Amino acid sequence: MSARGNDGGPALHVRGTLLPSGERRDLWLVGDRLTFAPVAGALTVADEGYILPGLVDAHCHLGIQPGGRPSDGIDQARSLAVVDRDAGVLAIRDAGSPIPYASLDDDPDVPRLVRAGRHVAPPKRYLRDIGVEVGEADLPGEITRQAGLGSGWVKLVGDWIDRGVGDLAPAWDVAAMAGAIEAAHAAGARVAVHTFAEESVAALVRAGVDSVEHGTGLNESDIDEMARRNTALVPTMINIATFGGIAAQAEDKFPAYARHMLTLRDRFPSIVRAAHEAGVPIYVGSDAGGGIDHGLAAEEMLLLHREAGLPAEAVLRAGSWGAREWLGFPGLVEGGLADLVVYSEDPRTDLTTLLRPRRIVLRGRVVR
């Protein structure tokens, strides 16, 4: 390990209260690694405050531009990632991208990334031009292909409006869902599934999906099964708050769907709370991309606290160290990655401090 910082300058020194331990410590960032062993000549970039290994947005889309079209290219995806980074998000799981951008994986200006390939959906049952659309016969093969295009994840659409039925309906039959999950796991990828409805999520959880995205259709029995299997839930509360607008637009043509969406929205905070209490691992996802702006991970954390009633420490775990561990990015430990954000106040007693990062260091370089 060189004793230099990651931008070729001196190593960096930070002092403050480390979370979650709450210990006051000194740490040094040498290259792209963290050490608690003192480094001579280091540049002190913060000497008080509360230190997190950065926030995590575990569900957003760098490949979808504001308005919902695919991003124009890698430069636009990078600029969206930088918006997140400047809000203190230092690790991202891209939950489905219509454009490939693997070259950003090691970009020094971009948060740590894990990526799904494209959303995999049945024909005409998802947002136009965003997913790859296949019939059930081609599903396992497409999942295998998308596992190769992502980095560790695939994204499966589990349900969507069926215009013939006039309501949400499963995207696949139960055997096809199970086959898709099996194909992903055989390819070494974990499966994130988009699901709003009841029937589909019940089947997907029992078929062994790795993370439930949104999950508005969960019931108590599904939650118990998720806890038993250690299946993650990424509630995307900001997205669920848009269900009112979706329902209003759909009301004339699809009144049952509109009512269903409002019912799902209204019961959701209690579902998230019940999942937390049952021991389901919950992670923060803003669902930025398309209709939701980037840079809102801290707002999502506030919603988990205020609306779903998760305790502050659980919210911090969901949006910082716990989520990093889940995605495979070591935090504030000896030899961990050189990512951190310093806040003025203790986020355990005031989560709103997350809206005001005081110092951001990504990959051993000071961002601000």
Instruction: State the residues that interact with Zn ion by CB under 5 A.
Output: 95, 287
Element (H, E) at 192: strand 190-195
CB 197, min distance to Zn ion, A: 16
Residue nearest to Zn ion (CB): 287
CB 199, min distance to Zn ion, A: 21
Closer to Zn ion by CB, 115 or 363: give it.
115
| 4-9, long-range: CB < 8 A, 24+ apart | 4/30, 4/31, 5/29, 5/30, 5/31, 5/43, 5/364, 5/365, 6/31, 6/32, 6/108, 6/338, 6/363, 6/364, 6/365, 7/364, 7/365, 9/43
Closer to Zn ion by CB, 235 or 336: give it.
235
Q: Which residue blocks in the chain are alpha helix, DSSP H?
A: 74-86, 139-149, 174-186, 198-206, 220-229, 237-240, 243-250, 255-278, 297-306, 312-319, 321-327
Closer to Zn ion by CB, 168 or 351: give it.
168
The closest of 57, 45, 52 to 85, measured between CA atoms, is 57
Closer to Zn ion by CB, 131 or 140: give it.
131
CB 356, min distance to Zn ion, A: 26
Please tell me what DSSP assigns to residue 210. Answer: S
Closer to Zn ion by CB, 30 or 204: give it.
204
User: At a CB cut-off of 8 Å and minimum separation 6, what does 138 contact?
Assistant: none
User: At a CB cut-off of 8 Å and minimum separation 6, what does 246 contact?
Assistant: 258, 261
CB 287, min distance to Zn ion, A: 4
CB 213, min distance to Zn ion, A: 6
C-beta separation of 117 from 97 below 8 A: yes
Closer to Zn ion by CB, 117 or 347: give it.
117
CB 171, min distance to Zn ion, A: 15
CB 59, min distance to Zn ion, A: 6
CB 95, min distance to Zn ion, A: 5
Closer to Zn ion by CB, 60 or 351: give it.
60
The closest of 267, 173, 274, 203 to 233, measured between CA atoms, is 274
Closer to Zn ion by CB, 287 or 339: give it.
287
| 244-252, long-range: CB < 8 A, 24+ apart | 250/161
